[in-house]
């Protein structure tokens, strides 16, 4: 039995999902003739109360498209130092949109409206890049699956309104935040101009992200997607997986969160563990005691059939997901206690 806890992207389509894929009605989505893609886009737009949604092959492409829609070359994007768009999208913000990122030194990938105000460049000070966009991530990936306080998000919206800035949410794991905090997609739709959500993380699809947004800003989204090579043909097979996941795989995220909390409390009690970051959703980040190397630790787990990854800076990460079964969970906790 291999217990793969490197990411919630390692899941494989379930039997029910495969059936949905096999039975999908498809067409050429570049002509917008794929009825399953159209149904998925309509469904997600409705969930968020937004007029437009567009299906993407990856979360990276959805985020990169959003950045392009909000900015012109030379502009600046405000985000956290842990942001996925800054750390894990291959430098795409500068490559695709010609923008720079102003990094906020936040707490677990989150920051305050006050910090946004301090980070933005006054538009008439032409020596500095023009601040155009504020981007946040919920849940935060490098921040250990932390969930934002919605009140702070609303305050940031006000700063964006006052200063004529766009507001984009990287919601790769927004589903986890919604379940953990008992929030709704609609309330997020109300405060953000654009939101990207992943279907291939906690929801268990093989591929797929969706970008939702207001009419005016989404007008050119399909052109940007085409330029980035994301116009796909009979892609309803993948959209069918997305529709299946929306129906079946959101509420069960609770289980992943509970398992992550169990893992954290077992880790906390082990002599080799230094600190465990607070667990709110499905990500556990911890550090080892001095003198224990992360690579040795990861290797010793690997020998027992458990895969996890190092995050750098002395941190190790575990992510729970829908293919991490109760039996695996029992086995893994036993392994951790015996190490």
Residues of this chain that interact with ligand PLP (CB under 6 A) are: 58-60, 63, 84, 137, 141, 170, 172, 198, 200-201, 209
Provide the pairing of β-strand 315-319 with 309-312.
antiparallel
Q: Which is nearer to ligand PLP, 74 or 90 (CB)?
A: 90
Reading phi first (left if > 0) and then psi (alpha if -120 to 50, else beta), residue 98 is in left
Q: Which is nearer to ligand PLP, 59 or 242 (CB)?
A: 59
Residue number with the smallest Cβ distance to ligand PLP: 59
Q: How far, in Å, CA of 121 to CA of 66, rounded?
A: 21
Question: Is the dihedral angle over the CA atoms 247, 250, 254, 257 positive or is it negative?
Answer: positive
Q: What's the min distance (Å) between Cβ of 215 and ligand PLP?
A: 24
Q: What's the min distance (Å) between Cβ of 235 and ligand PLP?
A: 15
Q: Which is nearer to ligand PLP, 160 or 205 (CB)?
A: 205
What does the buried/exposed string (b/e) look like for 45-77 if buried means 16 or more CB atoms within 10 Å of the residue's CB? bebbebebbbbbbbbbbbbbbbbbbbbeeebbb
Does an H or E element contain 22, and which? helix 15-22
Token couple for 32 = 């917008």
Q: What's the min distance (Å) between Cβ of 11 and ligand PLP?
A: 13
Q: What's the min distance (Å) between Cβ of 139 and ligand PLP?
A: 8
Q: What's the min distance (Å) between Cβ of 101 and ligand PLP?
A: 14
Q: What's the min distance (Å) between Cβ of 198 and ligand PLP?
A: 5
Reading phi first (left if > 0) and then psi (alpha if -120 to 50, else beta), residue 122 is in beta
Q: What's the min distance (Å) between Cβ of 251 and ligand PLP?
A: 21
Q: How far, in Å, CA of 96 to CA of 283, rounded?
A: 30
Q: Which is nearer to ligand PLP, 153 or 273 (CB)?
A: 153
Does an H or E element contain 168, and which? strand 166-171
Q: Which is nearer to ligand PLP, 135 or 336 (CB)?
A: 135
Q: Which is nearer to ligand PLP, 58 or 131 (CB)?
A: 58
Q: Which is nearer to ligand PLP, 58 or 65 (CB)?
A: 58
Q: Which is nearer to ligand PLP, 132 or 317 (CB)?
A: 317
Omega before 139 within 30 of 0, i.e. cis: yes
Q: Which is nearer to ligand PLP, 107 or 297 (CB)?
A: 107
Q: What's the min distance (Å) between Cβ of 286 and ligand PLP?
A: 19
Q: What's the min distance (Å) between Cβ of 8 and ligand PLP?
A: 9
CA distances from 196 to 18, 67, 132 (A): 24, 11, 18
- Concatenating the DSSP letter of every residue in 263-304 gives HHHHHHT-TTEEEE---SSSEEEEEEPTT--HHHHHHHHHHT
| DSSP H helical ranges for 143-284 | 150-162, 174-181, 185-191, 215-218, 221-227, 236-248, 253-268
């Amino acid at each position: 039995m291999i217990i793969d806890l490197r990411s919630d992207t390692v899941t494989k389509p379930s039997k029910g999902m495969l059936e949905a894929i096999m039975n999908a009605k498809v067409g050429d989505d570049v002509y917008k003739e794929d009825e399953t893609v159209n149904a998925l886009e309509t469904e997600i737009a409705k969930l968020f109360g937004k007029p437009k949604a567009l299906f993407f092959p990856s979360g990276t492409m959805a985020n990169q498209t959003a950045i392009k829609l909000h900015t012109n070359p030379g502009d600046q994007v405000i985000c956290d130092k842990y942001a996925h768009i800054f750390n894990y999208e291959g430098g795409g913000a500068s490559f695709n949109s010609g923008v720079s990122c102003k990094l906020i030194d936040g707490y677990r990938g989150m920051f305050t409206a006050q910090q946004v105000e301090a980070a933005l460049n006054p538009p008439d000070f032409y020596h500095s890049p023009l601040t155009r966009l504020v981007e946040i991530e919920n849940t935060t990936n490098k921040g250990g699956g932390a969930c934002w306080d919605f009140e702070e998000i609303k305050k940031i919206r006000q700063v964006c309104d006052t200063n004529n800035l766009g507001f984009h949410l990287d919601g790769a794991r927004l589903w986890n935040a919604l379940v953990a905090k008992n929030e709704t997609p609609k309330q997020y739709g109300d405060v953000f101009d654009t939101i990207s959500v992943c279907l291939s993380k906690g929801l268990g699809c093989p591929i797929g992200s969706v970008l939702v947004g207001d009419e005016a800003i989404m007008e050119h989204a399909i052109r940007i997607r085409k330029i980035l090579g994301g116009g796909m043909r009979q892609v309803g097979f993948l959209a069918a997986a997305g529709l299946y996941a929306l129906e079946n795989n959101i509420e069960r995220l609770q289980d992943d969160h509970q398992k992550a909390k169990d893992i954290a409390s077992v880790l906390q009690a082990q002599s080799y563990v230094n600190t465990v970051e607070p667990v709110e959703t499905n990500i556990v980040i911890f550090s080892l005691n001095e003198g224990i190397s992360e690579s040795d630790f990861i290797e010793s787990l690997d020998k027992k059939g458990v895969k996890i990854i190092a995050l750098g800076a002395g941190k190790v990460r575990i992510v729970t997901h829908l293919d991490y079964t109760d039996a695996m969970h029992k086995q893994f906790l036993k392994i951790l206690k015996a190490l």
